[in-house]
Structure 1
Amino acid sequence: MKKIILLLLCLFVVFVGKSQTHRLLFQTDYGDFKVLLYDYTPQHRDLILKSIQTKVYQDALFNRIISDFVVQGGEHDVDIEKREAADPTKQKPRLAPEFDDRAFHKVGALGAGRDVNPEKASFLNQIYFVVGKKITASELDVLELKKNIKYTAEQRSTYLKIGGQPRLDHDFTVFGEIYEGLDVILKISKVKTDSQDYPLQQVRFELSEIKD
């Protein structure tokens, strides 16, 4: 089943990737994987490209891992809360959400973390990858009613074939996807964690832009 999901995802990405202009390389102790950034979520695309130049993710960690859900990295929620609470100006910088029907929470999707702010704006230095789970048509039907949204034919087809986390759609911004090395993030998603979802052993990653 895992091999089938990887094959199907590659086929989807071949089509989507033709129109996108930026790609990233993630290097980890578990192997490398490659990500394409969506041009139709330009603010989030530009933010992570800038973060590479400013070395935001230098010596970065995947510090929240939940099997069948997400692998999250960068600045942790707890650290963000502490830093912002200590800021005398009480500023909470966020990036406005960018929702697009072409960017959704299929397996391998790259998203931006956030807190419970009503604007659904993203943290500046936190990302996650969707590991996801198998999705049924009835689950999508229920989510449409609950969230007052309508899944496109492409979204439905993709979710039913490879799975994901559709309950996050229209709540968190997706701005890219893994196009090579999905097995690496799936392997990382199985790392043992404590009761707070911290991996028992550090999972480091280095991030760079692919220039070729």
Structure 2
Amino acid sequence: MKKLHFILINIMLSSVLAYCYAQEKTVTFTTSAGVIKARLYNDVPNHTSVFIKKAANGDYNGTLFTRVIKEFMIQGGSPDSKNAPAGARCGFGDRRSEILPEFRNHYFHKKGALAAPRQNDDINPKKKSDMSQFFIVHGKVYTDGALDTLELIKNQPIRRKAMDTYYKPFKTELEILKKDNPREFNKRVVEINSKVDSVIRSTPGHLIFTEEQRKAYTTLGGCPHLDGFYTIYGEVTEGFEVIDAIANQPKDAYDRPKKDIRIIKVTIQ
């Protein structure tokens, strides 16, 4: 009976998940460089609804990719780019289109992530998203060792403080144990490391990549340093080669492509 109950629960959960994914909208970016398709996330409702509304109004149609950086991202949609003269600096967005962020820890900046740009913290302390434009992650592929290094650098201040608490006061005692009782020394070191790791994991702002993140960043690629700073509200499903083509365009000193890459239309299905 319990087994049947468990099976029924799994069937119900699968049905709910299937329904949720079925309701996700698909966005098609038709550009002068090719077509990019992405799905919009349901659990980032404000960003998704604003994006859909702006796309339906044609706000992004005719705009340019105004900032493209290889191994980083491609950014477009800004209203000031529609009639921008060749070589003119543009892509400043529209602060009237800002909305509060909707950070979701389970979304991260893998290649193809669709996200909202924003102004810097000094003039935008609430980290509001500028929905007048968008960016798509290009990124680069990392090795596991490189990700380990990023974790080490980010967590070093937390680790140092924890070591001051759990290791430094017992340093002399541990040095004696290391000579006289190596087995007890090893046991104490394991205990200390366990406490330090616990402190790191419980401290806000720490960095420990999940298995999903590691798999994505070491295969597809991305920009892990952006995680937690921008709202991601969708991901590309088709047209990764178009992202590559746009990111590799020759550009000027302000990262605007020398040859205009125009967003012909953005449609939602």
TM more than 0.5: yes
The answer as to 2:106 corresponding to 1:102 is yes
Partner of 2:268: 209
From 31, 34, 38, the counterpart of 2:41: 38
Higher helix share: 2
Q: How far apart are 1:141 and its partner, in Å?
A: 3.5
Q: Aligned equivalents of 1:93 and 1:62: distance in 2?
A: 18
Partner of 1:22: 25
Q: How far apart are 1:136 and its partner, in Å?
A: 2.5
Partner of 1:125: 132
Q: Aligned equivalents of 1:109 and 1:173: distance in 2?
A: 10
Where in structure 1 do 4 or more consecutive aligned residues deviate above 6 Å?
none
Q: How far apart are 1:99 and its partner, in Å?
A: 1.6
Percent identity between the aligned chains?
Answer: 35
Q: How far apart are 1:79 and its partner, in Å?
A: 5.6
1:150–1:43 Cα change, 3 Å? farther
CA contact (8 A) 2:44 2:233 kept: yes
1:93–1:48 Cα change, 3 Å? closer
Partner of 2:51: 48
Q: Aligned equivalents of 2:242 and 2:97: distance in 1?
A: 32
Q: How far apart are 1:37 and its partner, in Å?
A: 0.5
1:132–1:52 Cα change, 3 Å? same
Report the 3-state secondary structure (helix = DSSP H, G, I; strand = E; otherwise coil) of the residue aligned with 1:193: coil
Partner of 1:87: none
Q: How far apart are 1:59 and its partner, in Å?
A: 0.7
TM-score (norm 1): 0.79
Letter in 2 for 1:175: Y
Map 1:49-128 onto structure 2 (within 5 A). 49-75=52-78, 80=92, 94-116=98-120, 117-128=124-135
TM-score (norm 2): 0.63
Q: Aligned equivalents of 2:212 and 2:27: distance in 1?
A: 25
Letter in 2 for 1:103: Y
Map 1:152-163 onto structure 2 (within 5 A). 152-163=210-221
Letter in 1 for 2:220: I
1:36–1:79 Cα change, 3 Å? closer
Mark the structure with the bigger radius of gyration. 2
The answer as to 2:142 corresponding to 1:135 is yes
1:177–1:113 Cα change, 3 Å? same
Higher strand share: 1
Q: How far apart are 1:20 and its partner, in Å?
A: 5.4
Q: Aligned equivalents of 1:127 and 1:181: distance in 2?
A: 16
Q: How far apart are 1:78 and its partner, in Å?
A: 5.7
Report the 3-state secondary structure (helix = DSSP H, G, I; strand = E; otherwise coil) of the residue aligned with 2:141: coil
Letter in 2 for 1:199: P
Q: Aligned equivalents of 1:143 and 1:45: distance in 2?
A: 31
Report the 3-state secondary structure (helix = DSSP H, G, I; strand = E; otherwise coil) of the residue aligned with 1:176: strand
Letter in 2 for 1:59: G
Report the 3-state secondary structure (helix = DSSP H, G, I; strand = E; otherwise coil) of the residue aligned with 1:157: helix
